[in-house]
């Protein structure tokens, strides 16, 4: 799938909060981008929920530096296949626990 088609697909996908994701489920990452927000720059991942449904999730701020421009390019080109796994929230800090795993 070419990049312009992926971008069109993203326009019609749902925004989802991380804590709305199913715990320990592997969500394939189909697209990644850096975007400016009023709270500062952020990473947004497009993840596949079902074969015909894509969700967009904003990653916690600490992930901004974890994704280099090359990482994002590799994800978007399909060179690298990764899964997003939501692990729940920390009881003490309420921080989201998230892992990124190779497929």
Question: What is 60-102 written as a DSSP string?
Answer: PGGGGGGS-HHHHHHHHHTSS-EEEEEEEE-TTT-PEEEEEEE
**At how many degrees (to 10) do helices 69-77 and 3-11 cross?**
90
pLDDT band at 55 (very low <50, low <70, confident <90, very high): very high
Query: pLDDT class for 90, splitting at 50, 70, 90?
Result: very high
Question: What is the domain extent for residue 39?
Answer: 3-102
pLDDT tier at 3 (50, 70, 90 boundaries)?
Answer: low
As given in the structure block, the two tokens for residue 84 are 């997003």
Number of domains in the chain: 1
User: How many residues appear in the chain?
Assistant: 103
Residue 87 has pLDDT above 90, yes or no: yes
pTM of the entire structure? 0.85
Closest among 33, 69, 76, 27 to 49, alpha carbons compared: 27
Compute and round to an integer the Cα radius of gyration of the chain: 13
Task: Return d(Cα 71, Cα 57) in angstroms, integer.
Answer: 17
């Amino acid at each position: 799938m070419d990049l312009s088609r992926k971008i069109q697909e993203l326009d019609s996908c749902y925004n989802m909060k991380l804590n709305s994701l199913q715990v320990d489920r592997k969500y394939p990452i189909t697209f990644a981008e850096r975007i400016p927000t009023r709270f500062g720059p952020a990473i947004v991942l497009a993840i596949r929920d079902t074969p015909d449904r894509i969700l967009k999730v904003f990653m916690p701020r600490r992930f901004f530096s974890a994704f280099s421009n090359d990482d994002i390019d590799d994800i978007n080109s399909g060179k690298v296949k990764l899964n997003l796994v939501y692990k729940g929230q920390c009881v003490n800090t309420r921080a989201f626990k998230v892992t990124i795993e190779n497929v």
